[in-house]
Amino acid sequence: MAADRDAAELERFLAERADHLLRTAVLLTGSREAGEDLLQTAVERLLRRWRRFDGDPESYLRRTLCNLAIDGYRRAGRWRQKERLLRTGLRQARDPVGEVDLRDALVRLLVQLSARQRAVLVLRYWEQLTDAEAAAVLGCAEGTVKSARSRGLTRLRELAGDWNDTAAMPGR
């Protein structure tokens, strides 16, 4: 049965790449729970068109993750709900024990950027894409990516500065 073969092919692909895609999703959303939810939704969309799918599944899933994180997820209100939880978690992390260093803090601070800025930074620094490739994934101009990246990094520096003023930062 062709449908079974297709499903098996998708299973094999996910067996190899699902971990990496989950990490992308977690970085886009800021939490494991939200990342799994996001990846699940993206896989569901791929599954819907899998029989007729003719392309690179990883590219499709990456693009879907970003689009969902920027648009659908935010529109559904689920993201805001999770964001509040993440902000709470961040405050809890900034305790005097200071176990979270700046590298961890920067990742956690990603949730305070706009969804598009966050997606651009994840594509550039986690997926190691160029600005042009990131623009293709997000369906926007390369200049938009450059601008979002620059503003995102600036905002991260500001947030990290605030964080640096109020918390111990081992390794700095």
Partner 1 sequence: MDTDVEDLLREGMERFTADLRAPAGLIGRAARRRRRRLALRSAAGAAVLAAGAVVLAAAGVPGAGHHSADATAYVVKRAVSALSAAGPGQIAQLTVTTTHGAIRGGQAVTTTAEEWSYGGQWRSVSYSSAGQPVYDQGVSTASGYTVVSYLTRTWAGQRASGVSSASASAPSGCAAAAAVVSSLLRYGLVPGFGVSAGARSATVATALRAAVSCGTLAVAGRQRVAGTGAIELTSRPDSPIAETVWVSPGTYLPVRVVIRLSGGQPVLQQAADITWLPPTAQNLARLTVPVPAGFRQVPLAQAVTPILQQTPGGLPKPTALCLAPADPVCKGSEQPFRLRAGAR
* Contacts to partner 1 by CB under 8 A: 4, 7, 10-11, 14, 18-19, 21-23, 26-27, 32-33, 35-36, 39-41, 43-44, 46-48, 102-108, 121-122, 125-126, 153, 156-157, 160
Q: Which is nearer to partner 1, 43 or 137 (CB)?
A: 43
Q: Which is nearer to partner 1, 84 or 157 (CB)?
A: 157
**Least distance (Å) from partner 1 to the CB of residue 74?**
20
Q: Which is nearer to partner 1, 23 or 63 (CB)?
A: 23
**Least distance (Å) from partner 1 to the CB of residue 118?**
11
For the chain, give the DSSP string: -HHHHHHHHHHHHHHHHHHHHHHHHHHHHSSHHHHHHHHHHHHHHHHHTGGG--S-HHHHHHHHHHHIIIIIHHHTTHHHHHHHHHHHHHHHHSSTT--S-HHHHHHHHGGGS-HHHHHHHIIIIIS---HHHHHHHHTS-HHHHHHHHHHHHHHHHHHHHHHHHHS--TT-
Residue of 146, 157, 82 lying closest to 116 (CA atoms): 146
**Least distance (Å) from partner 1 to the CB of residue 154?**
9
**Least distance (Å) from partner 1 to the CB of residue 63?**
17
Q: Which is nearer to partner 1, 40 or 59 (CB)?
A: 40
Q: Which is nearer to partner 1, 153 or 167 (CB)?
A: 153
**Least distance (Å) from partner 1 to the CB of residue 99?**
13
CA–CA dist 169, 151 (Å, integer):
24
